[in-house]
Amino acid sequence: MDDPTKLYAAYLNYYQLTQRRRVVAKKQEHFLSVVFSIAVAVLAVLFSAQILNSWRFKADAKDLVGQLLLPTALAADLSATVEPYTTNLIMNAGQEATINLTFINNSQISWPAGQVSLETGPFLKTFSKVEHKSWQSFFKVTTLTKEIKPKEKISVSFKIAGPEASIVGVIQENFQLVYNQQPIKGSLARVFIDANQSKPTFIQSSNNSTINTIKPTKTTANATTSTKAVEYITGYNKLGEKVQVIKGQYVPGISLTKPSDAAIATERARLAAIKSSSTSDQAFCIALSASERANQPQCQTNNSEAQTDPGIVEYSRKLAEEPLIRVGLFSSDQLQRITSDQPFDIYAANNLLVGSVPANTVVLVYYIRSTKQYGVIVNDNVYQTLNYLRFVSQANNDGVFQLPDYRNNPNWNANLNDNKFRRVMEYRYAAETDKIWWINELPIDSYLKGLAETSNASPLEFQKVLATAARTYVLYHYYRGLDSGLTEASTKHASEYFHVDATYDQVYRGYNSEIRMPRLAQAVQETRGMIVTYNHELAITPYFSRSDGRTRSWNEVWGGGEKPWLVSVPVPEDKGQTLFGHGVGMSAQGALLMVVDGGKSWVDVLKYFYTGTSLERAY
């Protein structure tokens, strides 16, 4: 047997060596664990950053798509009737009243539960003088919590607050059903409130009309005008309801005597038979397919407009100067105020009516349907004329007009109000459509700077793409008007005296949008006068929000023959997405990704989506 001492020494040596190896291994294991943990943490941070960046980009793209998204056929298909159409109340400050309305779903589909709301009108997110604390927001009264099937009725009761004491006289409030950011056709109800008067205008027990007069203190020598008192009367509309009007200001057909029961029944039947209204929720018809457009009688674009062959304007000259564009902002029967930060003149058509109105002077404007007269009240002086009114800044394009009564809030911020516009404002009655329009006339590049079809965060190169496509689109309609002998309108809007509207042709929000989006203004300036042409002729350039991986040809969507520059092209940047919009021409999201990810220039993008085109300078 070996010496135990030696055996123990050998064992001890082996044990110590093993322990040292274990310590080293543990240290190595700990080191590797630390390194692995650090690596995992770094990878997690990088992965999170990538996800966040991707999320942010998708959020930006989603925001862009949301801003560019055109009205859908679904919202346009919803319709309703409401009873009563008009409610008359007498209220004082501090009081409250309950309004009861009954709506009938005239649509072919159900109204989804929780997605239809009762809101103020006639414009989306209109501020109200009778907002009640029970409302869901300053513009949203309540939400319909149940599904409403076709032909089904629903009764809605809600409270309003008496107008504040400083408001004296008759005011009009409007309420309407809204789905998917669009009013439901036929759902508008009116409430006339005689506020804070010791002797109310609405006299329920008498058929006599009350007359209040504003006496003029100044006359005008202009041969086209006359000066007279503005008379406020209580009369009857065709439904036999009492209304307070300035000689028919609110509704046509005002009478001092109540219509017969038979006449009222006939009018109710006529209103019930109307399937579409001419209110501001008209569909953007060029965004619809041919079959969809056939079911939209309110569409302003006629067949010859959509199927013009070869679809281009004869363009053989360069303009000597930047053209003026006329934009239909909105129509309204209500009394409106207008003011400006610069002195301005008021014209009756081409004749001077009131000269050198000082800056910041508030002018009241109205139209009397019964006598077809326009009126303005300037510093208690009343002027009336048979000619339409033009408000022209003495500072030219540097003058900015404001319409204090026009509520035009962006969807993303109810505290903003886009009611300021450059250069010239026009107030004009269109007999063919029976609407009273506010029209903004200004240079085309100033108009483009006021568009709101993207955000200021978008890359400058992408802004140039949209600016050029938008310029081409509006000049297309400008030249169509000239070729048809129209000097102040396009063929599309000839009956209403403007080239494009501010909602359905392109989203125009005026001066405030121009200030919020300096990058778009820069893009407009750097592409000044540039348009898309095909064989040296100006080509129409439709665009939409997002494709599903390819665009559609003109003929595929609208028919009438192919347009060689509007053929289907692949959009790999949009692959796997859902189509938003009509699909013809340029995908806005695809164009954005071509710039951001592909490094394409604005010229490359336009030539890709509009096949075989060139860029030329129009002015």
Over residues 460-491, the pLDDT tens digits come to: 999 999 999 999 999 989 988 888 888 889 99
Q: What per-residue confidence (pLDDT) applies to 182?
A: 86
Structure tokens at 77: 């298909």
- Delimit the domains of the chain by residue range: 1-68, 76-273, 312-324+442-617
Q: What per-residue confidence (pLDDT) applies to 52?
A: 41
Q: 486-514: per-residue pLDDT in tens?
A: 888 999 999 999 999 998 888 899 999 99
* Residue 55: exposure state from Cβ atoms within 10 A (0-12, 13-18, ≥19): exposed
Q: Is the peptide bond before 564 cis (omega within 30 degrees of 0)?
A: no
Spans of the chain below 50 pLDDT: 1, 49, 51-76, 199-232, 245-252, 274-315
Q: Name the superfamily (CATH) of residues 76-273.
A: Immunoglobulins (2.60.40.10)
Return d(Cα 422, Cα 439) in angstroms, integer. Answer: 11
Q: What is the CA radius of gyration of the chain?
A: 32
Q: How many CB atoms lie within 10 A of CB 552?
A: 22
Q: What per-residue confidence (pLDDT) applies to 253?
A: 54
- At 598, give phi and psi (nearest 5°): -95, -10
Element (H, E) at 197: none
How many helices (H) and strands (E) would you count in the chain? 12, 32
The gap from C-alpha 277 to its chain's centroid, in whole angstroms, comes to 18
Q: Which residues contact 98 (CB under 8 A, 6 or more apart)?
A: 157, 158, 159
Q: Which residues of 455-483 are buried (b: 16+ CB within 10 A; e: fewer)?
A: beebeebbbbbbbbbbbbbbbbbbbbbee
Q: State the DSSP code for 508.
A: B
* Residue 383: exposure state from Cβ atoms within 10 A (0-12, 13-18, ≥19): buried
Q: What per-residue confidence (pLDDT) applies to 265?
A: 82
Q: Which residues of 169-180 are buried (b: 16+ CB within 10 A; e: fewer)?
A: ebbbbbbbbbbe
Q: Taking the model in full, what pTM does it have? A: 0.54
Structure tokens at 345: 């003149």
Return d(Cα 617, Cα 445) in angstroms, integer. Answer: 13
Q: What per-residue confidence (pLDDT) applies to 165?
A: 85
Inter-residue contact 332 to 208 (CB < 8 Å): no
Q: 241-298: per-residue pLDDT in tens?
A: 765 544 433 334 556 678 888 888 876 776 555 333 332 222 233 333 333 334 443 3
The gap from C-alpha 496 to its chain's centroid, in whole angstroms, comes to 18
Element (H, E) at 104: strand 96-105
Q: What per-residue confidence (pLDDT) applies to 232?
A: 47
